[in-house]
């Protein structure tokens, strides 16, 4: 414990501490050594002397392998799960090719700017597709339901710090990385992967799998930037990690054609509600459509959360029972359920990415907002609409009741200054994947197609940046075991580096 840091606490903080009642207990603190143990350092240490890893790292010659031929692995998608799967596999000695249909963050940022200002939508480079995944230009929350202090979560969080995230995310109650912090972090992550020998291909959309005798043998890739049209290329691999996001609907269709076991899963639909900054801490509303005929929005924020508006999601959970009208679409029924509302929202907005909106008080009363709508952070415009026409009654009524209940706890939440927008993407129609790709719990391999390893949010096993990264990390270790690049159990390997916690009795 650094005593100087304690002595340098601001006087007003000491004044607050003095008012606290004395209480016996134990305080856990992080040592400098614990802060340093990230996934990269962990794998490097193990590769020097552990029997868990087949290779050894030499500071001059890089990785030295006992295997004459490195296994070739394709990782599809450069979101959190794809990045961490690539990191683990690359560190453990696989020959990894990371394929991303979108652009690197530098160009992706310019494409998003063109969308927000000039309404120019790039189908393969937008808020959903591109380096870092959908979370890069979203809120950047690092909260999770899988346990903040688990070994896997701690390994991922420390890896974020290794690549430039502020160390306070390790101790904050609600850690958050804004877009301004994520972009440079992703650049460093990319640089490290390339130093490992990982081949990274942007503008590379995977259109098909090469399957022989029930096993994946490779992929068919298109360069989406080529004109007049994409050119396809067949590539052979020993294994394929499917780490796409939940907006890769064409990938779901392709997997269904290969009879990959998938099943619809519950997700949430609803609206995005926005208040003035003085009422609630803010984030920002942005367009996250991937198709000009469909309308989806989401929230985003920078690390300081210093916007004029506060917004949040207002959602209702829907399940496979609600997808019955779309049963002909099989496991893609939830996808079609999403599409109907996104198309309807696009029509209600009148096109050109204008969003249908309604004052909260008018939504409660089921009347059209005919007066001037309150200001919105959504740059491409809002159109007065009756959002009761968007969803079926059971969803609309649940949203109404929720607003009334929240207003009882937070008087003023239902206000004429509050604005509802539809349809929202990451916390609404695409809160997580509308389906789950079945896989074996131990190996992470598809239950129906050998050599395919589904992981992350798009596969239905995560719901946010942190859980997707953790799932990708575990998938990387599981595949490495299958490829004889890693031996032993994953949890003890991670856990042995997480025990450098200090304790102070007080």
Question: 261: helix, coil or strand?
Answer: coil
Among the ranges given (97-101, 168-172, 288-292), the one the predictor scored with the smallest mean pLDDT = 288-292
Instruction: For residues 203 and 300, state if they share a domain.
Output: no
Instruction: For residues 160 and 47, state if they share a domain.
Output: yes
Instruction: For residues 383 and 451, state if they share a domain.
Output: no
Among the ranges given (309-318, 332-341, 463-472, 487-496), the one the predictor scored with the smallest mean pLDDT = 487-496
Say how far apart CA 177 and CA 162 lie, in whole Å.
14
Question: 83: helix, coil or strand?
Answer: helix
Of 381, 400, 429, which closes a domain? 429
What pLDDT digit, counting tens, does each position of 437-453 carry? 999 999 999 999 999 99
Instruction: For residues 236 and 128, state if they share a domain.
Output: yes
Instruction: For residues 332 and 398, state if they share a domain.
Output: yes
The Cα diameter of the chain in Å comes to 73
User: Which neighbouring-strand residues pair with 269?
Assistant: 316
Structural contact between residues 316 and 153, judged by C-beta atoms closer than 8 angstroms: no
Instruction: For residues 181 and 258, state if they share a domain.
Output: yes
Q: How confident is the model at residue 104 (pLDDT cuts 50, 70, 90)?
A: very high
Q: Tell me whether strands 355-359 and 382-384 are parallel, antiparallel or unpaired.
A: parallel
In a domain, 12, yes or no: no
Query: How is the chain split among helix, strand and coil, in percent rounded to 5?
Result: 35, 25, 40
Instruction: For residues 324 and 413, state if they share a domain.
Output: yes
What pLDDT digit, counting tens, does each position of 376-393 carry? 988 899 999 999 999 999
In a domain, 14, yes or no: no
Judge whether residue 80 has pLDDT over 70.
Answer: yes
Instruction: For residues 350 and 289, state if they share a domain.
Output: yes
Comparing 312 with 323, which gets the higher pLDDT? 323
In a domain, 212, yes or no: yes
Instruction: For residues 251 and 309, state if they share a domain.
Output: no
- Closest by alpha carbon to 158, among 72, 238, 74, 40? 40
Structural contact between residues 271 and 399, judged by C-beta atoms closer than 8 angstroms: yes
- Closest by alpha carbon to 421, among 306, 319, 309, 498? 309
Phi, psi of 338 (to 5 degrees): -60, -45
Instruction: For residues 256 and 275, state if they share a domain.
Output: no
Of 368, 394, 429, which closes a domain? 429
Of 429, 464, 495, which closes a domain? 429
Full domain range(s) for residue 323: 266-429
Say how far apart CA 123 and CA 101 lie, in whole Å.
10
Mean local confidence (pLDDT), 234-239: 98
In a domain, 2, yes or no: no
DSSP-derived secondary structure letter, 490: H
Please give the structure tokens belonging to residue 370: 């005919």
Say how far apart CA 130 and CA 384 lie, in whole Å.
32
Among the ranges given (41-45, 103-107, 433-437), the one the predictor scored with the smallest mean pLDDT = 41-45
CA 452 from centroid of its chain's CA atoms: 21
In a domain, 38, yes or no: yes
Judge whether residue 11 has pLDDT over 70.
Answer: no
In a domain, 4, yes or no: no
What pLDDT digit, counting tens, does each position of 404-419 carry? 998 888 888 898 889 9
Q: What is the CATH number of the domain that holds 173?
A: 3.50.50.60
In a domain, 63, yes or no: yes
Phi, psi of 53 (to 5 degrees): -115, 135
User: Which neighbouring-strand residues pair with 141?
Assistant: 176
Instruction: For residues 341 and 443, state if they share a domain.
Output: no
What pLDDT digit, counting tens, does each position of 15-49 carry? 666 666 666 655 545 544 445 578 998 887 666 55
What pLDDT digit, counting tens, does each position of 109-143 carry? 999 999 988 999 999 999 999 999 988 887 677 88
Q: Where are the beta strands (DSSP E) in 176-287?
A: 199-201, 204-212, 215-223, 231-236, 239-242, 262-264, 267-276, 284-287
Phi, psi of 148 (to 5 degrees): -65, -30
pLDDT winner (highest mean) among 33-47, 160-174, 203-217: 203-217
Number of domains in the chain: 2
Mean local confidence (pLDDT), 428-434: 60
Instruction: For residues 353 and 284, state if they share a domain.
Output: yes
In a domain, 26, yes or no: no
Say how far apart CA 179 and CA 431 lie, in whole Å.
19
Judge whether residue 503 has pLDDT over 60.
Answer: no
């Amino acid at each position: 414990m650094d005593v100087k840091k304690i002595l340098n606490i601001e006087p007003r903080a000491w004044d607050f501490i003095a008012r606290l009642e004395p209480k016996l207990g134990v305080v856990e603190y992080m040592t400098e050594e614990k802060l340093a143990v990230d996934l990269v350092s962990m794998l490097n240490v193990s590769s020097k002397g552990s029997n868990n890893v087949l290779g050894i790292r030499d500071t001059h010659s890089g990785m030295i392998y006992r295997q004459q031929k490195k296994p070739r692995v394709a990782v599809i998608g450069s979101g959190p799960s794809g990045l961490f799967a690539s990191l683990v596999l690359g560190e453990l000695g696989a020959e990894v090719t990371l394929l991303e249909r979108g652009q690197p963050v530098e160009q992706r940022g310019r494409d998003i700017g063109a969308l927000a200002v000039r309404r120019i939508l790039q189908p393969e480079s937008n808020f959903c597709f591109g380096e870092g995944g959908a979370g890069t230009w979203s809120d950047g929350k690092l909260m999770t339901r899988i346990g903040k202090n688990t070994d896997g979560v701690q390994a991922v969080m420390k890896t974020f710090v290794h690549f430039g995230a502020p160390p306070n995310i390790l101790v904050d109650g609600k850690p958050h990385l804004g877009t301004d912090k994520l972009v440079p972090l992703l650049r460093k992550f990319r640089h490290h992967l390339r130093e490992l020998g990982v081949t990274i291909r942007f503008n590379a959309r995977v259109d098909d799998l090469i399957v022989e005798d029930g096993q994946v043998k490779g992929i068919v890739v298109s360069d989406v930037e080529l004109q007049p049209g994409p050119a396809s290329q067949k590539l052979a691999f020993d294994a394929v990690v499917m780490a796409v996001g939940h907006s890769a609907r064409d990938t779901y269709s392709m997997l269904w054609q290969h009879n990959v076991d998938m099943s619809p899963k519950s997700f949430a639909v609803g609206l995005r509600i926005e208040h003035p900054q003085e009422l609630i801490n803010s984030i920002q509303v942005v367009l996250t459509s991937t198709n000009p005929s469909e309308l989806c929005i989401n929230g985003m924020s920078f690390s300081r959360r210093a916007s004029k508006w506060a917004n949040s999601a207002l959602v209702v959970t829907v399940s496979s029972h609600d997808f019955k009208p779309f049963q002909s679409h099989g496991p893609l029924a939830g996808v079609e359920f999403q599409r109907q509302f996104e198309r309807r929202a696009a029509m209600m907005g009148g096109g050109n990415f204008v969003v249908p909106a309604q004052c909260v008080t008018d939504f409660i009363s089921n009347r059209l907002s005919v007066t001037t709508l309150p200001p919105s952070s959504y740059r491409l415009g809002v159109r007065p609409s009756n959002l009761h026409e968007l969803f079926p009654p059971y969803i609309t009524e649940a949203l109404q009741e929720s607003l009334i209940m929240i207003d009882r706890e937070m008087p003023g939440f239902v206000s004429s200054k509050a604005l509802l927008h539809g349809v929202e993407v990451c916390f609404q129609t695409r809160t997580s994947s509308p389906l789950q790709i079945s896989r074996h719990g131990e190996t992470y391999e598809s239950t129906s197609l050998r050599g395919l390893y589904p992981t992350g949010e798009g596969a239905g096993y995560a719901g946010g940046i942190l859980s997707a990264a953790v799932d990708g990390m575990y998938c990387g270790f599981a595949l490495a075991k299958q490829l004889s690049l890693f031996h032993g159990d994953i949890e003890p390997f991670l856990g042995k580096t997480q025990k450098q916690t200090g304790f102070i009795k007080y």
